[in-house]
Structure 1
Amino acid sequence: MTIKVKDITPNAVVEKVAALSDDELDELCEAAEKAILDGNGFGWLTPPPRRVLESYWRGVLLMPQRDLFVARLDGAIVGSTQLLRPPPNNEAQAHAAQLTTFFIAPWARGHGLARGLLKAVEETGRAAGFQQIDLDLRATLAAAIQLIEQAGYKRWGIKPRYAFIDGSHIDGYFYTKLLAETAA
């Protein structure tokens, strides 16, 4: 399922995927490794062995509560994010989905793909009946913070000692975006 997003480079596409070929899995792992090395590793500080990354992405595709979105530039996967649905037993928070593992490889930035991924997740969340999308990230990711705040996400909290990197504790920020007027 390809999701068309305005304001992205003509050779750039964002799509929700349910399966990946071996070549696509390799591209996704390569993009993730580059993002991890650049400091945007969705939890990883150093790239894990390739087999670990491959297992991670294969697992994502098997989990019914996760929708995987990929960003492509010139046909190659250069980034991704996931829409994480609450588990069925969490009725109290069934109105809110979470955006997670959001990254674009450093060399592929500046083409509108990050905005495209956000929009695709929001459209999918809205269509699935979610009233809001939540996310969290390290306070040191200035470009990501700027992007999500420009996209209408509101910071609602700070978690001291959110991450421990290079011998230092780093705060984290929590964000939410309402998808429906009734959620207000």
Structure 2
Amino acid sequence: MATVTPSDTGPGGVTGPAGRVSVQRLTQYSGTDLDDLCDATERAVVEGGGFGWLKPPARQVLENYWNGVLLVPERRLVVGRLDGVVAGSAQLSRTPRNNEAQALSGTVTSAFVTPWARGRGIGRHIVEEIECIARELGLLVLNLDLRDTQRAAIGLYESMGYARWGTHPQYALVDGRFVPGHYYYKRLE
């Protein structure tokens, strides 16, 4: 588990009120991890950053979803913590094995930081860890997409070198209105 404290970060590191920020690759849940992850997800969904959900699903649905993530061999789960509590996550999805032509790439999915933990650099550290995993797996390119309403995430990805290559004007339907979505990629060095 990587740990970042306000005293050992540089530009783009931990900002805002002090707190111990750490990131961790999860292959199983321990302690309150699953409950923390479900709580963080519910709050993010309510605030409009719930990676597709428009309203929080039933708790059992969330638990099933997060338990299922760990069962998929082509996925890697990274969580960000603030003072030991899961405060956000992202997943790295590898290209299916039958798609040899695109085996060089992976997709960043389901990335979020819960509202009470934003502004502390957690999202940046999660994405850095996802990129580290991608390099370890020999991936050369990362792809991602997100709603136009995710302004902080757009700023983060663009500041980390992700290039927007397209916009879908009817990417999502929220409250009866179409919301554009943007597509990004990053070549890993």
Fold equivalence (TM over 0.5): yes
The aligned residue for residue 150 of structure 1 is 159
- Residue by residue, what CA displacement relative to the aligned partner does 1:88-120 show, whole Å, maximum 9, x if unpaired? 111011011000000000010111100001100
Q: 1:19–1:61: 8 Å Cα contact kept in structure 2?
A: yes
The aligned residue for residue 46 of structure 1 is 55
The alpha-carbon deviation at position 10 of structure 1 amounts to 5.8
Q: 2:3–2:21: 8 Å Cα contact kept in structure 1?
A: no
Gaps of 5+ in 1: none
- Residue by residue, what CA displacement relative to the aligned partner does 1:51-105 show, whole Å, maximum 9, x if unpaired? 0000000000010010000011111101100000111111011011000000000
1:124 aligned to which of 133, 136, 141:
133
Which whole-Å CA distance do the structure 2 matches of 1:72 and 1:4 have between them? 9
Is the counterpart of residue 85 in structure 1 residue 84 in structure 2?
no
2:39 aligned to which of 23, 26, 30:
30
The aligned residue for residue 164 of structure 1 is 173
The alpha-carbon deviation at position 4 of structure 1 amounts to 4.8
Larger deviation: 75-84 or 13-22? 13-22
| SS of the residue 1:162 aligns to | strand
Aligned partner letter, 1:132: V
Gaps of 5+ in 2: none
Which whole-Å CA distance do the structure 2 matches of 1:144 and 1:23 have between them? 27
Over the aligned positions, Cα root-mean-square deviation in angstroms equals 1.2
Q: 1:3–1:16: 8 Å Cα contact kept in structure 2?
A: no
Which whole-Å CA distance do the structure 2 matches of 1:157 and 1:37 have between them? 27
The aligned residue for residue 81 of structure 2 is 72
Q: What are the equivalent positions in structure 2 for 1:54-69 lying under 5 Å apart?
A: 54-69=63-78
The aligned residue for residue 107 of structure 2 is 98
Consecutive aligned runs of 4 or more in structure 1 exceeding 4 Å deviation: none
Number of positions where the alignment pairs a residue of Structure 1 with one of Structure 2: 179
The aligned residue for residue 2 of structure 2 is 3
Q: 2:19–2:83: 8 Å Cα contact kept in structure 1?
A: no
Which whole-Å CA distance do the structure 2 matches of 1:4 and 1:97 have between them? 25
Q: 1:86–1:97: 8 Å Cα contact kept in structure 2?
A: yes
Q: 2:19–2:82: 8 Å Cα contact kept in structure 1?
A: no
Percentage identity across paired residues of the two chains: 47
Give me the TM-score of the superposition, normalised by structure 1.
Answer: 0.94
